Structure 1
Amino acid sequence: MSPGGPDRSEPEGGVRQALSGLTTRGRSFLAAGVAAGVCAYVLGQPDLLRVGLLLAVLPLVCVAVLYRTRYRVSSTRRLSPSRVPAMSEARVRLLVENVSRLPTGLLMLQDRVPYVLGPRPRFVLDRVEPGGHREVAYRVRSDLRGRYPLGPLQLQLADPFGMCELTRSFATSDVLTVVPRTEHLPAVRLGGEASGYGDSGYRALALAGEDDVIPRGYRYGDDLRRVHWRSTAKYGELMVRREEQPHRARCTVLLDTRRIAFHGAGPDSPFEWAVTGAASVALHMLERGYATRLLTDTGSCVPGPEGAAGSGGNGGFGGSGADSSETAGLLLDALAVVDHSDGAALSPAHEVLRGGNEGLVVAFLGELDEEQATVVGRMRQRTGGAVAFVLDGRDDGERTHTPLRLLREAGWTVLLVRPGDQLADLWRQADRSASPNGTGARR
């Protein structure tokens, strides 16, 4: 829905602007009326003067009616859904309401839509009674991810006689977010799971002794079995035991966006494959209960340092408990607009990862030279497990060229991505149970 409720029509210029809306028929009637009036004055024919006044006044009355009507029409736009995967359709509904006491004439609607979403939709509404409304709908589809504005809606008013047409634009617009497509990934065991819990398992940690209990006030929904009666008697109000929060497994999805690391463009390019892979892995790990974040080669993180939903203390990781859906939305929104960076190094990402134990790291990398492979290799030192999907256009079929060898020697599970490879198949190969030494080599 358009923010702020219905969008009311606003004035666009004065009377001169309204007169400019006269059609060819309206101008002809006005010119004929003026000519008839001049002839009636010259020839002394009062009947001809009446005809001239009728011809001249009719288009002016139509202009006055439309000029007043243009302030009394409102519109509302609804997107379903407002966030849609690439190559999928979204439905847009337009509700036009006549809030005046007079019926409208012919209404012609045109919504502004970027060319990548398809042609501009146009609709014709014959008549809208006072207080009535009309609803029209159209569909949009994009093969390219991104954020696309819809609107503002253009409304063309016309009188029944075809004397005048006025075009105006509403003020508000909406944004359709086209996010990357995601693939369903099988459940596998990867390095780094031992540092916390995944698979949405919430383990209850044993409490300390009775003397170490830190009580807090009772909140609606608390389990009555947690009531601490000694503190309740002491403070005179219902108190419950404060349970220690379990440590959650973390996952960082690293996306290489360096322009020099990828070749080609379009939905089937290697970079788009990497973006789709990052989105799929991020959602998969969130579903398994991991605290997940997205990190790019520039060092930027999503969620940011404050985490999802403004919850502090998680070091930029999101996805705890009820905010998993919000974290997923933040990650998809970020990946919808992510673009190539002009940097040539992965060191900013390394600076972020060297801050502490990062749990599992899943990286989607482009072409690597020996220097950048060494930087990526050092990232492994602060992680519980590391899996790298390398999209290297220089690969000539040899699986042991220097950058990949450096990654494997550093402890990374390396999977070389070739054109046509499916992420789900590669994800199965990353299963640490299939690679005893945890350095999974490509087939």
Structure 2
Amino acid sequence: MTGRGVSTLLAGILLAIAANVLAAPVLLYVAALLFGMLVLAALFVFAPRRRIRVDRTVAADLLTVGDDTTVRMRVEVRTVMRPPAGLWRDVLPPAVLGSATGSFPAADAEAVPGGTAMTMVYPISGVRRGLASLGPLQLTTSDPFGLFARTDELGDVTPITIVPAVLPLPRLADRTGRAGGTAQTSSHRLGQGTDNLSPRRYVPGDSMRRIHWRATAHRGDLMVRQEEQESSPDALVVLDRAGARWQNADGETDLNGFDRAVTACASIAVHLVDQGFAVDVVDATGVLIGRLRGAEDERDGLLVSLAGTSPRSGERDHGLPAAAEGHTVGPLVVITGTIDPADAGSLPHGGAGSPILLATSTTADALAAAGMQGWATAALGDDPADAWTDAGAAEPGSATVDAGAAPLARSSGSPRRTDAAGAETESAHVR
């Protein structure tokens, strides 16, 4: 019952009382008329049985924080009476922002066998990473007098994933090899290679195209080439999820700080793989969060994993040394929350090529203690590019590289590298 309906009911009761007190039957007739209106309005609103089907489609499979997309709803109404008139509203989670409301039925409503169909489109934008759901659709209808209102929740919810933004970073300063990660290779598989590789004896099943004719003529036996396997140096990104490191002064979880860390983790991981590194993203205990080797689906998988990650409650983890154990080739990036000087001063990097420590909330003493151990340190704010530059990881004078702008996936064939003129050329097998 709406406010108007409540007023009508109270007016009818007062008129009925006044009719008895004043001995005025006409007031009783008016009260009866008001009560009758209430009954008819209630029947008009609540008696009809409706069958409504809702199909909801989101334009983007993954919604990035700060990006916009559209939601399209197809609504089919089947009822013996005309379609109800009112307002529709799609329930939105706190992770997205949008205007999901309008008049019902929509202006483009069309007749279909057994009912009416219409399409509603509304925009949404991601405001916070996470796993959320759109819906259900709420339809509010009322009687012509506005005495009663009926709100139905229709259709199922549609899951949506809001992934962290991948922000651009300056090019990494300390790169392993002339072309970043792509210049480092190893040779430990057999196959087709170049003439200056050591040959081996022919075995049944080897391709005739692999025959090393010079070695065959020299030794008198059929010899074939060995093939070297191209590989990139590894980069390790550690996201510390220990709950004790993400508590503010009030003892509550610092979700904003953790979101900044997740954004930095995604941006740095994608940036490093674009620079030619093979990237593993783990937590402080060494549990794998994602792995990037250059494929687009690997990047999406990492972003989805980061969308659902959160600080773990319980005791503080002491697994940072374990996460970095054995990593000595490429960059090592550790992203944490509040770290004290004692923990920072005892944090080993295992001789990593570029050890970088980023903390969202820490003291100068803690950063100095980590610096004494060989870490490049910086406080992590809203823009990870600032921390990347403050830690000395950015190449001097380099422009900000839009992480993820270049395609991560690459077709099979010879690897590519950049020559001195900056042009990308086909690379032969590099030793």
For the superposition of Structure 1 and Structure 2, which TM-score range results when normalised by the shorter chain? 0.5 to 0.7
- The separation in 1 between residues aligned to 2:43 and 2:184, in whole angstroms, is 69
Shift in Å at residue 103 of structure 1?
A: 5.0
The structure that is helix-richer by fraction is: 1
Q: What corresponds to 1:130 in structure 2?
A: 111
How big is the shift at 1:300? 2.5
Q: 1:326 aligns with which of 279, 297, 311?
A: 297
Q: How many angstroms does 1:118 deviate by?
A: 4.5
Greater percentage in strand: 2
Q: Which runs of 5+ in 1 are unaligned?
A: 1-19, 29-54, 217-224, 229-240, 304-316, 435-443
**Match of residue 363, structure 1, among 331, 334, 350:** 334
Distance 1:417 1:61 in 2: 64
SS across alignment from 2:300: helix
RMSD between superposed Cα atoms in Å: 5.0
Alignment of 1:55-134 (within 5 A): 66-67=48-49, 70-71=50-51, 73-98=52-77, 103-115=82-94, 117-118=96-97, 121-126=100-105, 128-131=109-112, 132-134=116-118
Matches within 5 A, 1:327-342: 327-342=298-313
- 5+ residue gaps, structure 2, are 10-36, 212-224, 397-431
* Sequence identity (%): 20
- What amino acid is aligned across from residue 261 of structure 1 in structure 2? R
Query: Cα 1:341–1:205, aligned 2, differ >3 Å: closer, same or farther?
Result: farther
TM-score, with structure 1 as normaliser: 0.59
Among 388, 394, 398, the residue aligned to 1:426: 388
> Contact conserved, 2:236 with 2:281, CA < 8 A, in 1?
yes
Pick aligned residue for 2:369 from 388, 391, 402:
402
Distance 1:287 1:146, change over 3 A: same
Residue pair 2:245, 2:338 contacting (<8 A) in 1 also: yes
Structure 1 residues 144 and 78 mapped into 2: Cα distance closer, same or farther (>3 Å)? same
Does residue 376 in structure 1 map to residue 347 in structure 2?
yes
Matched to 1:368, the amino acid is I
| 1:262-273 map, 5 Å | 262=246, 264=248, 270-273=257-260
Tell me by how many angstroms 1:94 deviates: 1.9
After TM superposition, give the deviation of residue 114 of structure 1 in Å.
Answer: 2.6
TM superposition shift of 1:355: 5.7
The residue type equivalent to 2:308 in the other structure is V
2:169 paired residue number: 185
For residues 56 and 258 of structure 1, what CA distance do their matches in structure 2 show? 60
**Counterpart of 1:198?**
182
Aligned pairs for 1:1-400 within 5 A: 66-67=48-49, 70-71=50-51, 73-98=52-77, 103-115=82-94, 117-118=96-97, 121-126=100-105, 128-131=109-112, 132-156=116-140, 167-190=151-174, 197-198=181-182, 206=193, 211=202, 245-262=229-246, 264=248, 270-303=257-290, 317-320=291-294, 324-342=295-313, 345-354=316-325, 359-369=330-340, 371-373=342-344, 375-377=346-348, 379-381=349-351, 383-391=352-360, 393-395=362-364
1:48 corresponds in structure 2 to: none
SS of residue in 2 equivalent to 1:415: strand
Inter-partner Cα distance in structure 1 for 2:143 and 2:309: 48
- Relative to structure 2, which stretch is displaced further, 55-64 or 415-424? 55-64
Equivalent position SS for 1:363? strand
Aligned partners of 2:312, 2:140: CA distance in 1, in Å?
43
Please tell me whether the aligned partners of residues 338 and 360 of structure 2 are also in contact (alpha carbons under 8 angstroms).
yes
- How far is the alpha carbon of 1:251 from its aligned partner? 1.8
* TM-score normalised by the chain length of structure 2: 0.61
Per-residue deviation, 1:263:
6.0
What is the CA–CA distance in structure 1 between the aligned matches of 2:57 and 2:309, rounded to whole Å?
26
In the alignment, the residues of structure 2 paired with residue 373 and residue 333 of structure 1 have an alpha-carbon distance, to the nearest angstrom, of 30
**Could you tell me which amino acid in structure 2 is paired with residue 351 of structure 1?**
A
Q: How many residues align?
A: 341
